[in-house]
Every structure is written in C-alpha cells, then in structure tokens.
A = this chain, B = another copy of it.
Amino acid sequence: MAQSELSNTLRLKRLGIDTLQEAVIYMRRDCHVCRSEGFSARARIRVNAGDGSIIATLNFIDSDLLAPGEASLSEPAWILLGAEEGGQVSVAHARSLDSLSSVRAKVYGEKFTDGALRNIVVDIVEGRYSDIHLSSFITACAARSLDDGEILGLTRAMISAGQRLDWGAAPIVDKHCVGGLPGNRTTPIIVAIVAASGLTMPKTSSRAITSPAGTADTMATLAPVDLDLRAMRRVVEKEGGCVVWGGAVDLSPADDTLIRVERALDIDSEGQLVASVLSKKAAAGSTHLVLDLPVGPTAKVRSKADAASLSAHLLTTARALGINTTALQSDGRQPVGRGIGPALEARDVLAVLQCEASAPQDLRDRAATLAGALLELSGGAAAGAGVAKAIAALDNGGAWDKFQAICEAQGGMRTPPISRHQRPIVSERAGRINAIDNRRLATAAKLAGAPDAKAAGLELHAALGQQVEISEPLFTLHAETPGELAYALDYIESHPPILEIELLQ
C-alpha cells in the first residue's frame, strides 16, 4: 500500500442498503479522503479491509446518515468484503481493469482469446465490473457473435470460476430445458424415473427469477430443497437422485450476474446462453445430458431454425467438454400441464407420478420422452426402448416410490398448500382457441403472487384447438390475498385476452 493511502482510512457503519449485486461505497461528500483523493460521484473505488479488497462505485452522502470519518457499503459489498460494523477500511482510486481492454477489442471486432475470457469472468465473479461494464460485455457478445471457439472459452472460464462436483465413476445424467415454458415441470418426474431405473441424477435446479415458478420453488412445496453439498451427496448416494436448489452449491457463479444484466437488456446471445447452460452442467459433474428446446411464438426459442442453430452450438460445445448430449425440440406454443405456480405445478407432478386418471397427459408424455432419451443416451435402455421403459416406471409405481424416497431423504415429504382465494376467468365468446400467450399468462400468475406465495398462480382449463362456449372458464386464478387477486384481475381486464379465440364459422 502506498504511503499516501495509509491515511485514507474510514470507519464502517452499516446502513443496510441492498443494491442486489452492485458494490457501492457511501462516503460523505465533505470527507477528507474524498477531498484529498479528488473522488467524484460514481468513481470506481478500491476498498481494502485487512487482506481483502473489492471495487465499489462511490455514492456521496449529503446528510448526517454518516458522521465525519465514517463510510458505508451496500449489502453485497459488505458481504463480499467480509466487513464488520466499526471496522476500518482504506480507499483509493481503482486502477482500470486490464480485462476491459479485451472487451473493447471485441467491440471493435477482434476475437476473444481463452485467456481474455478467463480474466473477464474472474473480474465479474470478484465484483469488479460495474453494470456499465457488464452491459458492454453482454452487448458486445451479441453484436459480434461468439464463434464456437469463443463459446467454449467462455464456458470453460465460467466453469473454472466456481466449484466443480465430482461424483466418482458412474454416468451422471442431467436434463435441462432451454427457455422455460410455464408449467413445464418435467424434472421431478424425470429424476424419479431415471433414479428408479438405476441411473444417477443429482439434480440442482433454480428458483424462479422472472417466471411464476422454478423447479426449486415447485419441489420446495414437496420436500426441503435447501440442502448443502454434504446433505445432497447423502441423498444421491442413498436414492440415486435428488432435486435440490442449486443456490447453495456455488456452480458457475458468474452466471447469475450475467443473467441479471441480460434480463434488463432483454438480450439473449446464443453464445452466452450456451455458456450459461453448459458451464452449470459441467460444473455439476454431468456426463450425459438431454436438452429440451420448446419452440413457439411466445417461447424463448421462436422458430425451428433458431432451435437448430442453438442446438448446433450446444452440441458442439458439449462435445468439446466431453458431455454426451442429445437436444430435443418440443412444442412451445402453450403451457404444459394445468398448473402455473409452485404448488399448482406440484399437484400436476404428483398426479403424473401417481398415475391419476386426471393427470395432465402432455406433462406425462414429455417427461416420458425426455426420461426415455436420457435412458437411451446413458445406457439405461436399448436404442428405441427408452420411452417404453420410462412409461413402465411410471405405470408400475417404481417412479412414485422412488420420488417419495427422495423426498424423505431430502428431509421429509410435504403436501403442497391450497390457495385461499380463487377466481375463474371465463370466455367472452364461443369459438376455438387458436393461440395462447405464454408470457402474459406467466405475468398474470406472478401478479397473483407466484412464486413467493406458494399456492398462488393459475390453473388452465383449456388448450390450443379446443372449442369453448361463452362463459366457459378458461383458467382459474389462485391467490393468497384479496389484493394480489385484484392485481392479477386488473392486469387481465386491462389487456387483450391471453387466450385468443377464433370464432367458429
């Protein structure tokens, strides 16, 4: 540390400001350090405490929130630095990051080297990129598409920035759906089928970020999912499978940061998507992978051509990583199953596993198709015999037994809650349903409270091609509070119908 930096110390006061991921340092504008260093608002500041060091963006405080000699950090910065109330920090101008030169070079048309991508990902994981830098990196990757070499380099960089799980010798199977479709909750069913068939499927899944439910949200209504790595291993060793929340396991930590910014921009570059999916699979130790690509006008992948291009990049990169992969396109024109929302989707999952007569056939078919592909890919079934074997595991109760055993091993099976407020939405005309807007259906379910309100969401009563009468219920809203129900109704009433109905001639 330079001599002049030693005097730049301030005492930390915790203000409790949560900026999500952004590291912010709060300093009084009139503080001696700001004056002597010539700091300006939004300057990038290196903050040192003990052996640790982070980079944060400066916000000035013009009030008495901080006393002279005090500074504060946003919550993510506080945690990243391991700061303590009243602890000392020293501050200095942050040097510019070398890895940003590589981002600039990419903007102007050069290719990324593997080393450049490694440095960029490390800087992102260490919180050294501001939103401005993250956005430029993501935009550059979209405007100057990554080639297969760059995609592989980015994927490898993302893998090595986090933990990597090792499960020993057995084939480790996994399944991933690229671009969620509401209600498409095949994962718990597939895990039950393939684990019942003797394969190993240690599944980590995510909570919802913008959707009404993630697999982890749905599974949490059936069993505990917040298992650490040790507990997860115990479950997998005992039952051959699990469905836990991936957040407790630090796989591909750059990914969450990149996804947040991609979402704000509504930009999905193919290269980023491939790296995001495959880095997590490789880090989780997967050796055999089936990818589900739903294709439809309101799905993430809009056309068969887009799906083919994305599949090609996914398969090329997976091959280079040594992951045996199959990519399947599926129908993404409407939701899968009936429920949308954690508990409502869990009910669909239970109905399929219990072979109820009323179980949604589309969910059962998809789960069997994907499980069958996984069985064939990993040697669990002969070519062409996978789907039949998967259906047999459902029909003979093996999958249901296995699912209950997994839930017990994860901490005990639960019954999904039931919503307190329900309201059917009826058709305003007679006719045939010829389009369903997945995105607006998801928005309505979220406004009703999903995924935080576990029982909230909606239940579909109609499907594409079906004929409906005037006043026939199209779907039922489920909410935990009258306010959330009103909010969802408000949205539905002030927008065009979510289910488009063609008048019969």
Interface positions of A (Cβ within 8 A of B): 2-4, 7, 14-22, 26, 29, 35-38, 40-42, 44, 59-63, 65, 74-75, 96, 100, 104, 107-109, 130-136, 138-140, 142-144, 260-261, 264-267, 446-447, 449, 452, 481, 483-484, 486-487, 490, 494
A20–B38 touching, CB < 8 Å: no
A484–B107 touching, CB < 8 Å: no
A143–B38 touching, CB < 8 Å: no
A136–B104 touching, CB < 8 Å: no
B135–A62 touching, CB < 8 Å: no
A486 and B4 contact, Cβ closer than 8 Å, known pairs A108-B142, A108-B143, A132-B131: yes
A4 and B108 contact, Cβ closer than 8 Å, known pairs A36-B484, A131-B135: no
Q: A132-B134, A132-B265 are in contact. List 15 more A-B contacts (CB 8 A).
A: A3-B486, A16-B65, A18-B59, A18-B62, A20-B40, A36-B483, A37-B487, A38-B449, A44-B264, A108-B142, A109-B143, A131-B135, A134-B135, A135-B136, A140-B143
Q: Which residues of B contact A22 (CB under 8 A)?
A: 42
Query: Which residue from B38, B41, B130, B266 sits with its C-beta under 8 Å from A100?
Result: B266
Number of copies: 2
B60–A17 touching, CB < 8 Å: yes
Measured CB to CB, the closest approach of chain B to A297, in angstroms, equals 16
A75–B104 touching, CB < 8 Å: no
Q: Which residues of B contact A35 (CB under 8 A)?
A: 452
B17–A26 touching, CB < 8 Å: yes
Q: Which residues of B contact A447 (CB under 8 A)?
A: 38
Measured CB to CB, the closest approach of chain B to A250, in angstroms, equals 20
B136–A62 touching, CB < 8 Å: no
B139–A136 touching, CB < 8 Å: yes
Query: Which residue from B15, B16, B104, B446 sits with its C-beta under 8 Å from A267?
Result: B104
Q: Which residues of B contact A37 (CB under 8 A)?
A: 487
Q: Which residues of B contact A143 (CB under 8 A)?
A: 107-109, 139-140, 143-144
Sample 25 A-B pairs with CB under 8 A, ordered by A number.
Answer: A2-B490, A2-B494, A3-B490, A4-B487, A15-B61, A17-B62, A17-B65, A18-B29, A18-B61, A19-B59, A36-B481, A37-B487, A38-B446, A42-B264, A65-B65, A96-B266, A104-B267, A109-B143, A130-B131, A131-B131, A131-B132, A132-B132, A132-B264, A136-B267, A140-B143
Q: Which residues of B contact A138 (CB under 8 A)?
A: 136
A264 and B486 contact, Cβ closer than 8 Å, known pairs A2-B494, A144-B143: no
Query: Which residue from B2, B42, B139, B260 sits with its C-beta under 8 Å from A135?
Result: B139
B4–A19 touching, CB < 8 Å: no
B486–A133 touching, CB < 8 Å: no
Query: Which residue from B3, B7, B59, B261 sits with its C-beta under 8 Å from A132?
Result: B261
In the assembled complex, the Cα of A35 lies from the Cα of B266 at a distance in Å of 24
A75–B100 touching, CB < 8 Å: no
Measured CB to CB, the closest approach of chain B to A247, in angstroms, equals 15
In the assembled complex, the Cα of A10 lies from the Cα of B264 at a distance in Å of 25
The closest CB in chain B to the CB of A209 belongs to: B40
